[in-house]
Structure formats: structure tokens, C-alpha cells
Amino acid sequence: MSAQQIFGLQFVLSLFLGTLLARWYVWPPLASLPVRRALIPLLFVHATRYVGLVFLVPTVVPPGVPDAFAKPAAYGDLLTGLLAILGLLALRRDWPGALALAWLVNVVGVVDLLYAVSQGARLGVQLGAAYYIPILAVPVLLITHAMMFALLGRRRA
């Protein structure tokens, strides 16, 4: 198998297993909660996205990782993480606009992930030690985004 095939298989398997875990064990208790409470644990997952700044650390990613990938991925993750922290505070303290902020976190976060994945594929980015992020973290982030969209959409229905 080529490195690209291994990467693709690992990504798909992570997405599949993460979806099963979410569907069987995470979603049922969350779906029974009020939307504002159910969003909080999902936002905690995204509050850790400051980890994406690792794409700017030269001792972690190999030389030659294009800035066209590294900077938007790193700062998009940081922005999403900071918005998620703000969203946690807003939901926990019942601020007006808390649900609008949750929508913002979700939209910014998904756009960031889709852009980073497309840029990474287009530029053939090799991540070195940061390889674990797209094969383990990104599937979890996508799944939790889907769950947040489902919760927020249910609120509007």
C-alpha cells in the first residue's frame, strides 16, 4: 500500500469507528438533554483546537510544509477553539445569543476543517509527527460538528 492509501484507510476507519461510538454511546444521552446542555460537551471537544497551532512548530512538522496549508489550518483551529471556549461560557451562563455563537463555532470549524483537508490534499502536505491530527482528531471533530448541527437544527424545527 502507498502512504496515501494507508492515510485514506486510516482516516475512513477513524471516521467509521468514531461514528459508531457517537451513534451508540454519545448521541443517545445527549439527544435527551435540552439543546443548550447537550452542546456543552461537544464544544469542549472543539475548545481544544488550539492544538492545531502545532502546524506552525518546526520541530513537529517537517521542513517544507507549505504556509498555504500551515497558517490557515493553525489559525483556523485557534479561532475555532477560542470561539468554542466563548460558546461554553455563553451556554453555561445562559447568555443571550449563546445558540447563535454555537452556530458560529460550528460553521467556522467546519469551514476550517474542509479548507485544511482540501489544501492538504491539493498540496500533498506531509505532516511528520503531526500525522495523528488528520487521522484521529479530524474525524472526531467532523462527527461532533455533525452532532452539533443536528442539535441546533432540532432547536429550529
pLDDT in tens, 12-41: 999 999 999 999 999 999 999 999 999 999
For residue 3, give the C-alpha cell: 502512504
pLDDT in tens, 80-128: 999 999 999 999 999 999 999 999 999 999 999 999 999 998 998 999 8
Give the pLDDT score at 155. Answer: 60
Please give the model's pTM, rounded to 2 decimal places. Answer: 0.93
Sequence ranges of the domains in the chain: 3-156
HSE on the CB side for 28, CA within 13 Å?
A: 5
